[in-house]
Structure 1
C-alpha cells in the first residue's frame, strides 16, 4: 500500500522539480550573441514595460518564470531602472536577481579628443539615458554650468582624456560632477598646478593653450616648443595668430590649410583678429599635450613654420627675418612638390 502511495508522490515531486527547473533554472535567452543589454528606463512603473523590455529583440524567449518571481516578491512595486547585461544561457532566476538588486552593467566612457559641445552631447547621449537635446541645453546654459565652476566657453576644461566607468542611469550633471573631481585630482598630481603657476598661467589657460597645440602639431618633441611660442606671444601682447583657432571659428576641421580669406571670419576664437587666448579651449587635448605645455622651455621663439622635408616637424625662430627665410624655403619646397605631383598626374 505504501509503495502505491510513494510512487505517485515521487512522480509528482519529480514533475514539480522539473517544472521549477523549467521555470527558473533553464535558459530563457533567445539570442545567439555572447550577451545583450536590457534597458529599464527611469520612471518605469509597470509590469508590462519591464516584460516588454525583456522580450525586445528576443532577449528573453519566455517571461513566465521571471513574472512568477516578480509577483511573489513585489518587484513590480519597486522597479530599479538601469542598463543590465544578460549573458547568453541565463535563467529566469539569475536575471530576476540582477534586476531586483539593481546590479547595472558599467558603461565605459572613453574620453578622447572632443571639439564641439555638439560632439560631446552626441557621445554622452549614446552612453547615458539623457538625450542629446537635453545635454545641449545644459552645455548652453551658464546657469547650469555655474555649479561646475565653468561656463559655456570653458566647459571642456573639466575633461581629462581617460577611460571612466559610469552608469547608464546617471544624469549628465552627475557625470560632469564626477569628471570635475577627476580633473581636480589630475591637476593635483605631479605638481601640475605649481608648474602652471611657474609659467605664469592658470590651469584653465594652460588647458586652452594645450588645445591649440594639440591641433597645431602631432610631433611630441615639437609640442613644448610650440607652446613656448604661444606663451611668448601672449606675454608680449602679440596676437596668437594660431591657424587652429580659425578652423575652430569656421567649424571647418577638414581643411588643413588656412587661407587669407579665412582670417576674416568674425569670431572671438579668431586669434588673428583678437589678442589674447580664445574664450575657451578648441578641443580636449591629450594628457601628453597638457604635460608638454607644462614642460614648455624658456625660449625667445616667436615664430615657427613647417620644415621643408615634410617630416611634420617645425623650424623655430625669434626674428621675423629668419622666419621669413624659413617660410620661403618651405613654400618653395611645397610648390616644387605640388608641381611634381601635377606633372605625374598629367603623365598618366
Structure 2
C-alpha cells in the first residue's frame, strides 16, 4: 500500500507536466497565429476587388505568399468572423504585421488611399491608362467617361474641352472608388482651383476658364522652361487681341497626330483640322495636352509686352527669341533653320 501511494503523485506530476506543456504549446501557437509577426515582404499592398469573396482573398494571400502561415491566417480570420465581412480596397502590408492587425484592417475596411499625382499628360488615352493603372476600374472604363458628351455637359464642358477639367496635382483617392465618383472628385478640385481670383483674371482677358486652359496647354507645349511661360503667354494674348492666327507649332503637331515631329514643315501646315492654328483663327476647340498649374497661372498673369513673334533660339537651350516685327522674326527664324540644318534635323 505504501509503494502505491508513493507512485500516485508521480503519475499526477507527469499528467500535470503534460497538460501544462500542451497548454503552453497551445498558447504559443495561439500567440503566433494572432499576435506573432506574420506578413511577409513580398508585396506592399493587398488588393481586394469589388465582389471578391473570402475564398478569393485567401487564394490571393496563399498564391502570393503574403503571410508566413496561411493556415494560421485562415484560423484567425474564421475566429474573427472575417469571411462574412469582406470589404474591397487597397490594404497596406507591413512586414511583420500580425494576422490580428491585418484582419482587423480588412474587416474594418481601413484601406490606404492612393496618392495619385499626374502631370505632363498629352492625350485622354494617356490619362485613362494612368487612371486604370492606379485604380480598380480599367482604362477603357475611364476613357469611355472622358469621351462621354453627356458627362462633359453635366459638368459644364463640351466633349472637346472636358479634358481641361482635370487639374494636375496630387490627389488622395481610395483605390476602389467608382470612376464616376473619381471624376466628381476632380471636378471639386477644379472648382476650388478656379477661385474668384482666377475667375476675375480670366474675365479680364475676356476668356472663360476653359479657354484659359486651352491657351495654357499651348503655352505648356511651347515652353521648355517654366520661367519663360508668362512671356510666351503674353505673346499669344497679344495675337488673340489683334485677331491674328496663333500659328502655334504644338497645335499643328497635335492636329497631325504625330508627336515625333521635331521640325514643323509646310506640308504639316496644310492639314484641315480645327486644331491647326495656322489655318483656323482663335483658340482650338480643346486643350492639346493637360495644362499645368504653372501654365494656367502664366496665362492669367502673363507678361505685358508688344511681342507677337517668337522662334526657338539657335543654341537649343529651349528658350526663345521674341520679336515685335515680322522682319525681326525672319532674322531669328533663319538662324534657327540654319541650326536645324547643321544638326541634320529634317523633320
TM-score, scaled relative to structure 1: 0.88
User: Which residue in the other structure is 1:200 paired with?
Assistant: 206
User: Which residue in the other structure is 1:290 paired with?
Assistant: 296
Q: CA deviation at 1:166?
A: 1.4
**5+ long unaligned stretches in structure 2:** 1-8
| Residue 51 of structure 2 is aligned to residue 38 of structure 1 | no
User: Which residue in the other structure is 1:181 paired with?
Assistant: 188
Cα distance, 1:113–1:218 mapped onto 2, change above 3 Å? same
Task: Check whether the contact 2:276–2:284 (CA below 8 A) recurs between aligned residues.
Answer: yes
Point out the more displaced range, 322-331 or 1-10.
1-10
Match for residue 254 of structure 1 among 248, 257, 260: 260
Structure 1 Cα separation of the partners of residues 105 and 199 of structure 2? 44
Question: Secondary structure of the residue that 1:285 maps to in structure 2?
Answer: coil
Q: CA deviation at 1:244?
A: 0.2
Structure 1 Cα separation of the partners of residues 223 and 167 of structure 2? 19
Task: Check whether the contact 1:121–1:132 (CA below 8 A) recurs between aligned residues.
Answer: yes
1:202-281 pair list within 5 angstroms: 202-281=208-287
Question: Secondary structure of the residue that 2:276 maps to in structure 1?
Answer: coil
User: Which residue in the other structure is 1:306 paired with?
Assistant: 312
Highest Rg: 1 or 2? 2
Match for residue 146 of structure 2 among 136, 139, 142: 139
Cα distance, 1:321–1:167 mapped onto 2, change above 3 Å? same
Cα distance, 1:70–1:314 mapped onto 2, change above 3 Å? same
Cα distance, 1:238–1:93 mapped onto 2, change above 3 Å? same
User: Which residue in the other structure is 1:167 paired with?
Assistant: 174
Task: Check whether the contact 1:302–1:319 (CA below 8 A) recurs between aligned residues.
Answer: yes
Structure 2 Cα separation of the partners of residues 313 and 36 of structure 1? 43
Structure 2 Cα separation of the partners of residues 32 and 333 of structure 1? 54
Structure 2 Cα separation of the partners of residues 22 and 329 of structure 1? 75
Structure 2 Cα separation of the partners of residues 330 and 65 of structure 1? 70
**5+ long unaligned stretches in structure 1:** 342-348
Structure 1 Cα separation of the partners of residues 318 and 123 of structure 2? 26
Q: CA deviation at 1:258?
A: 0.9
User: Which residue in the other structure is 1:346 paired with?
Assistant: none
Task: Check whether the contact 2:48–2:57 (CA below 8 A) recurs between aligned residues.
Answer: yes
Question: Secondary structure of the residue that 1:222 maps to in structure 2?
Answer: helix
TM-score, scaled relative to structure 2: 0.88
Match for residue 18 of structure 1 among 15, 28, 38: 28
Q: CA deviation at 1:261?
A: 0.9
Point out the more displaced range, 265-274 or 326-335.
326-335
Structure 2 Cα separation of the partners of residues 181 and 285 of structure 1? 18
Per-residue CA deviations over 1:294-313 (Å, capped at 9, x if unaligned) read 11133332211223443332
Structure 2 Cα separation of the partners of residues 77 and 70 of structure 1? 10
Cα distance, 1:65–1:149 mapped onto 2, change above 3 Å? farther
Task: Check whether the contact 1:65–1:93 (CA below 8 A) recurs between aligned residues.
Answer: no
Structure 2 Cα separation of the partners of residues 25 and 194 of structure 1? 59
| Count of aligned residue pairs for this structure pair | 335
User: Which residue in the other structure is 1:79 paired with?
Assistant: 86
Q: CA deviation at 1:315?
A: 2.3
The CA RMSD measured in Å over matched residues stands at 2.3
